[in-house]
Each structure stands twice: as structure tokens, then as C-alpha cells.
Chain A
Amino acid sequence: MSKVKSLKCRECPEEYEISPKYVCDMCFGPLEISYNWKEIKKSVNKNSITNGPKSIWRYKSLLPIDGNDVIDIGTGFTPLISADNLSNFLGLKKIWIKNDSVNPTYSFKDRVVSVASTKAKEFNFDTFACASTGNLAGSVAAHGAKAGFRTLVFIPSNLENEKIVAASIYGPEVVAIKGNYDDVNRLCTELAETKPWAFVNINLRPFYSEGSKTVGFEIAEQLGWKTPDHIIAPAASGSLFIKVWKGFNEFFEIGLIEKPKNTRMHIAQPKGCSPISTSFNEGKTHPLPVIPKTIAKSLAIGNPADGYYAIKLAKETRGSAHAVSDDEIVKGISLLARTEGIFTETAGGVVIATLVKMVKQELISKDEEVVVLITGNGLKTQEVISSLSAPTEINPTIKSFEDSFPNY
């Protein structure tokens, strides 16, 4: 019997055969993978996982992949770092950094794209596509190259050159669409409806998003088969946030960890694009879409597909939701770099700024354990911290050095 049963609607009882489909025909709700847990339990245990590769593929039995030919560029099993300096600075017992900025294309997107590209091969697609302003573009281009797909990356025509280079080096067709963000969204949706392509976050979305739950698997395994008191995760569409929790619950389902009943899930968003946090704090169940205006471009999703589920999860776990300013984001990036030697992009700055805020608001007790998700590398968003990097210029003399640096 297969480990994957069907595609199931999250909103109504409808189920569908496994195929590149993402919306329920009945209620237009999102589809997700339904697994045969009895079958999975027979073959998955702590030993089978720890004997697996040091990548997301150690959890292959828990992913919607049928065969053994995975598209592997070395994604996952990223370090969970004990952030002792940051813990001391904030007066907490233990902060862990889940450092996904060291993935092959320097962001957590490699997890979702690894699964999507593998599934695209299994579905016999020959063309692999995405629409992105940064991290996803690079990851899709890299996986497309490894898998031998024809790869298309759609970007807004005003995207910064360094982000275009980070995707184009892998050899995809990079298509710059004139117009605003809505125009790019609309065209890509129409293309996905009319072309026989694997569009990673459209028709492959139920498979693609499953890659994110490996963050939850890794955290639980790396903590010694348990979950922490708090998780702070950045939210764009909200998918990563809910899938980390799904990972914990699936580990519980197959008996690898205790029920994660004491883990609280906290949402981190930038003030310039915080539809999920705003609605959570206003007591609403659905996020109201916004027009993003933030330096945290990797979180600039104005109409988050999984916003409703993220709000629900934060409520159910007695979590919270926060929105931080651009200034706080830059300070967050700087704080993490100066305490832990980890240079994160703006989404990481959002998470660290949220952590600081939560400590100030006494939402975390001093003896509790916190895991913060750092999802991307700082080299990708250097423009936002350029003001911090001006060097001190001196003349080529000892005197000039000592005059400028009297403490050395």
C-alpha cells in the first residue's frame, strides 16, 4: 500500500487522486497531501531516520515522493545552533537558531523546491517554473539545472540586478515582466492555467509546501526528539509557519515525540506587510490583504494563501503575532551578527526583532527554550544594512591608527 493516500481538501470532505492539482473543485479550498500513517509507522523510526543522509531526504518516507530518484543539491539538516551570547544578552536560558541560511542557495526555499522538483520529475513534467522576487527564483533555477528541466523564472522588471544574477547563473530563462506586482501575479496565474508546466507554488503547491515540514522534523530531532517551548517563525504566505507545526504533529503521530502541547507558535512579520499579524491581533480569523511596503521583500506577500491557517494555529497554541518596523529589522540583523556571527537577510531580522519584542513584553519566561527560524542569508539583502558598514579611514601611520582607535 502506498504511503500517500490522496489529495484532500482542507475545508471540505472532498478527496482527489494524486495529481498536479491545488484547489478543491467543490469549495475552492486548498488541497493537501493525505498520508497512510499506519503504513508509514511500520517502516519509520528514530534509527531509520538517523541512519539516513544528512539532508531533508532522511525524512523521505514522510514526504509525498514515490521513487528513489530525488533531486538533491544538499538541502537541509542545517545546524541548530545554541545561541549562548544572544541568550545572555536577552536574559533567557536558551535560544536556539535554526540556521537555514546555509542551504545550497542560501535560503529555506531549497526545502520546498527539492520536493517540488522531485515531484515534477515523477509527474513527467519537462518545464519547471516560478514567479519570485528573490530566494525562490535562485532555488528553482538551481534545482531546474540539477534536474535537467527547461526552467522559467518570472520576475518583476524592476528587480535588483544582484537578485537576477543569483538566479540566472544556473541557466534558466529569466523573464522580466513589465508592470506592477499584481500584473506579475495575474500573468503567472494565467500561464499556470494554460501551459503544461510544473509551476512550483501553483499546481505543485500541495507537494512543494510539504518540504517546509522538514524544518519541524529537524528541530525536533536536533533537540533530542522533543519540541521547544516557543517557535518564532517569519510569515509570508504563512505556509512555513503551519508546516513546522505539521512536522511536529507527524512525528507525534508516528510515535517519535510526545504531543507538542506545550509548544507555542509565534508569527513574525514586517510592519510594512503584516496582514496575518494585524488580523490576529484584531481578533479576525482571516487576513485582510494589503499592498506590501517593506525592506523585508522575502516576506512581502500581501494576500497570504495560508494566513487563515497561520492565525488559527497561533491561537490554538497560545502563541502570538507581531509586526516590526524596518528600523527594528535592521537592528535585528545587526544583533544576530554581532552576538552569534550569523549574517541573516531581512526575514531573519524580522524574527530577531520579534524575539527582542517578546522578551520586552515578557511573553517568554527566562527559563523557557526558544527556537528562532533564520530562513535566509544576509548576503542577499546587503543593501538594507549598507549604512552600518562604513569603515574608519586612517593614514598609513601607527599614530593615525592609535588616534582613531585609542582603546587598542
Chain B
Amino acid sequence: MRLSKQLKFTFRGKSIQRPLIYEVGHKFKVTTNIRKADIESDGGWVILELTGSKEEINKALDWLKEEEVRVDNVAGDIVAG
């Protein structure tokens, strides 16, 4: 079953120089659909929809985290004080 997740990727440091969104779409069976972004020389964020099977999405997100991309839900943190 295909799922869609609304996510925010935050890039810092060297990860900003790499085409990570292109790469994640080629390494895994996921589709990326960017809605909003703000990138500067030292970092930035992209809000996008990631579509694919649950397994492929999870593998893609694990890989992005290994590449030091922070992945969050678009709604921000859910666990409140």
C-alpha cells in the first residue's frame, strides 16, 4: 500500500551541498514532491510530500538521517510538555 507523508527536512553543514532529494528518489522507491523550501549557504529546510510503500519510506528516512538530514513532521513536535 502506498502512503504519503508530509515532512520537513532540515539540512545543515555539508549536506546542503549534496543533491540529497534527488538521491533519495533514486536509491529508494519513493517520490518527492516539494511544496516549500528555504535554503541558505549554511543550511536550510524543505517541506515536501514523500510517497511510497511504508517500507521504502522508512528505508529512505533512515538513509537521510545517516546523511545527517533532520526529518520532522510538518506539524512540528507532537510530544508536548
Contacts and interface: CB of A to CB of B under 8 A. Distances in A.
A301 B75 contact: no
A188 B72 CA distance: 13
A147 interface: no
A34 interface: no
Contacts of B45: 286, 288
A289 interface: yes
Contact of B70 (A23, A27, A28, A289): A289
Given A28-B6, A28-B36, A289-B70, A301 B43 contact: no
Interface in B60-79: 70, 72-79
B7 to A, nearest CB: 9
A205 interface: yes
B49 to A, nearest CB: 8
B18 interface: no
A28 B47 contact: yes
A305 interface: yes
A249 interface: no
A245 interface: no
Interface string B1-22: 0000010101010000000000
Interface residues of A, number: 47
A136 B79 CA distance: 9
Interface string A1-37: 0000000000100000000001100111110000000
A272 interface: no
Interface of B: 6, 8, 10, 12, 35-36, 38, 43, 45, 47, 49, 70, 72-81
27 contacts: A11-B36, A22-B75, A23-B75, A26-B35, A28-B6, A28-B36, A28-B47, A28-B74, A132-B79, A133-B80, A135-B80, A154-B79, A185-B72, A185-B73, A189-B73, A189-B75, A189-B78, A201-B80, A205-B75, A286-B38, A286-B45, A289-B72, A299-B81, A303-B8, A304-B76, A306-B76, A347-B81
Interface of A: 11, 22-23, 26-30, 109, 130-136, 154, 156, 181, 184-186, 188-189, 192, 199, 201-202, 205, 236-237, 285-286, 288-289, 297-307, 347
Given A135-B80, A285-B38, 10 more contacts: A23-B75, A27-B35, A28-B35, A131-B80, A132-B81, A136-B80, A184-B78, A189-B75, A201-B80, A301-B77
